[in-house]
Structure 1
């Protein structure tokens, strides 16, 4: 009997090498800078139109009603700019330009609502905590320097950011896939 005839149908097929397709810190930083610049380009005219610069200069602070307007405008702009790409591809504009994407831990496109609630709302809420909000956000971002290159918001959302130019990893002979 040949080796082929003796092999069990339950023997797992040979697997290829596991490839780490996690996006580099540099690419994640580039994408974030692009997203921040785009957001600032959109927010600055709104802030000018509302007189926020002059009011802050004169009063030393922005009145709560104007601060709320600014926050709501930022949220609206986030969804206008990034909503479609996040829903369709797990990418913001910056991530799309740089060639990286947010995926689940098995390299699938994450569902939109959990992605927004767990990954983004968690960051926004951390930033709103008086006094320590900035420290929470800093801890969130600094977590990227751990071995798995995932921020706290990645862990909360059970996501990772991958480099789309690196072939996806193989598990038990079957490649993971992502539709991007």
Structure 2
């Protein structure tokens, strides 16, 4: 046995909760929605959506499909690059938050789109109860882990990039502000 006193090992760094606040997620969502509205409303007007809805009381299926496809295209034009490179939409980039995997890594693009975003889009399209499904999805954010249902489906979380993570903890891969 050695006569030298043994020094206790350094304790591992305490985990830091870098989950984005509800306020920051809401701010980012509002920014994204406003940007999408500025893109979609002129297109809808150019297609005569308002006049058709007033005259017929409903939107014809072919026009509704055209609007949905335009929305999808605009989503990828506006957010595709940032989601692929950084796990962020424009709003998330401005606010300083990002979507990451549960071990704080940048998520793969295709699974992110399919599991996180397509699930939301499809929930919203279910007749009659779609709005309730989307509401349940969003209200899940008030649980302790601050993750919506779409976060659970995609195995992701949204983090605040301004909360430093101690060395030794997994940090987001390639995510910069």
Same fold (TM over 0.5): yes
- Which residues of 2 match residues 28-47 of structure 1 at below 5 A? 28-47=25-44
Instruction: Name the residue aligned to 1:131.
Output: 128
Match of 2:71 among 67, 71, 74: 74
Does residue 110 of structure 2 align to residue 116 of structure 1?
no
Distance in 2 (CA, whole Å) between partners of 1:127 and 1:169 is 39
Instruction: Name the residue aligned to 2:171.
Output: 177
Distance in 1 (CA, whole Å) between partners of 2:158 and 2:107 is 11
Q: Give the 3 Å change call, closer, same or farther, for CA 145–59 of structure 1 in structure 2.
A: same
Question: What secondary structure does 1:103 align onto?
Answer: strand
Distance in 2 (CA, whole Å) between partners of 1:149 and 1:66 is 37
Runs of at least 5 residues in structure 1 that lack an aligned partner in the other structure? none
Q: Give the 3 Å change call, closer, same or farther, for CA 133–169 of structure 1 in structure 2.
A: farther
Q: Note the C-alpha offset of 1:169.
A: 5.8
Equivalent pair of 1:115/1:157 in contact (CA under 8 Å): yes
Which 10-residue stretch deviates more, 140-149 or 51-60?
A: 51-60
**1:9-60 residue CA offsets vs partner (Å, 9 max, x unmatched):** xx8x631121110000000000000000000000011001000011011111
**1:74-120 residue CA offsets vs partner (Å, 9 max, x unmatched):** 00000000000000000000000000000000000000000000000
The alignment covers a number of residue pairs equal to: 172
Distance in 1 (CA, whole Å) between partners of 2:120 and 2:156 is 14
Instruction: Name the residue aligned to 1:21.
Output: 18
Q: Which runs of 4+ in 1 moved over 3 A?
A: none
Distance in 2 (CA, whole Å) between partners of 1:34 and 1:20 is 25
Equivalent pair of 1:141/1:151 in contact (CA under 8 Å): yes
Instruction: Name the residue aligned to 2:47.
Output: 50
Using structure 2 for the length normalisation, give the TM-score. Answer: 0.93
Using structure 1 for the length normalisation, give the TM-score. Answer: 0.91
